[in-house]
Amino acid sequence: MEYNFATDVKTIRSIRNLTQEDLASAIDVEQVTISRSETGVTSPSPKLLERTYSFAFKNGVRLNALKEMFWREDIPQDHKLLFHGAKSEITGDISLDAGRLNNDFGQGFYTGETYEQAVSFISAFDQSSVYMLDFNPTRLVSREYSVNQEWMMTIAYYRGRLDAYSDHPKIKRLIEKSRDCDYIIAPIADNRMFQIINSFIDGEITDQQCKHCLAATNLGMQYIFTTQKAIDNLTILERCYVPDNEKKYYVNQRTDVTALGEDKVKMARIKYRGQGKYIDEILV
């Protein structure tokens, strides 16, 4: 799917009250380039995409945030608006096989609940973009997780930290539950959170300490699609270009939240010391 560049250029000009000549001058291109882009005669080059969307964001046009607002208003009430951050682009149909085996819940198609979530995971990649999707959960079986021992241990298994216990009855039950559904709703666990889970698996902290440490680093919920039936209920609405300055903006936003979360992690290690069980007490 291509970007809606022609419509976006018109929208940017309208919001900022610019003529084609004004915009062309601001981003250092010819007026005919803007004209041909708006009519769809030509496809935008990577340089034109970056210059246009970067200009918009710098000048207060939060185009993708506006799109999120409108799509939330437009999708059916019983549907869910979701977001997928892609390192490059989705080519062809959405596939279950595109994801890594060692993601939080194994292989599947991963999405989040907000545009900001999606941007935060692709901000380090040059050719990345964000997709907005319409999800219809009708006649699908879901499995929902919260920040608890079951969630922590399931993620640890899929990320390869419980291989030594793969035949343990508790672990087998966890994995069976995680695959006895069409899609999963669960808290997002980034690499920083996985470091905390590692401390639990390594026997450094208890499950209760781990739970409260993880709750301090909340990133929101993710939707993981694990069956073709679930994938068939997903529709791509739009592909959004994310300029470099917008990526940096959301990274800085997350930095402030991260600093507070890290302080709460330190407090949780102290406050809940000795409470709960260590990994070798759980998997006896």
Q: What is the mean pLDDT of residues 154-167?
A: 90
pLDDT value of position 99: 66
Task: Give the pLDDT band (50/70/90) at residue 255.
Answer: low
What is the reported pTM?
Answer: 0.90
Tokens of 280: 């070798």
Q: Which of 112-116, 159-163, 235-239, 262-266 has the lowest mean pLDDT?
A: 262-266
Q: Which residue has the tokens 């869910």?
A: 80
Q: Which of 70-84, 232-246, 270-284 has the lowest mean pLDDT?
A: 270-284
Q: Where are the domains of the chain?
A: 1-61, 63-282
Q: What is the mean pLDDT of residues 65-78?
A: 95
3-state SS class at 91: coil
Q: How far, in Å, CA of 132 to CA of 125, rounded?
A: 18
pLDDT tens digits for range 93-143: 898 887 677 788 999 999 999 998 899 888 888 889 999 999 999 999 999
* Mean pLDDT (the chain, rounded): 90
Paired strand residues for 84: 131
* Burial grade of 205 (CB within 10 A; 0-12, 13-18, 19 or more): buried
3-state SS class at 32: helix
Q: Which of 115-124, 148-157, 265-274 has the lowest mean pLDDT?
A: 265-274
Q: Does residue 256 register a pLDDT over 70?
A: no
Q: Helices marked H in 59-159 — which ranges?
A: 63-74, 115-122, 149-158
Q: What is the mean pLDDT of residues 166-192?
A: 91
Looking at residue 103, the DSSP 8-state letter turns out to be S
Q: Helices marked H in 86-222 — which ranges?
A: 115-122, 149-158, 169-179, 191-201, 207-215
For 1-61, the fitting CATH number among 1.10.260.40, 1.20.1510.10, 3.40.50.1370, 3.10.310.10 is 1.10.260.40
Q: Which residues contact residue 73 at a Cβ distance below 8 angstroms, ignoring those fewer than 6 apart?
A: none
Q: Does residue 257 register a pLDDT over 70?
A: no
Q: Does residue 220 register a pLDDT over 60?
A: yes
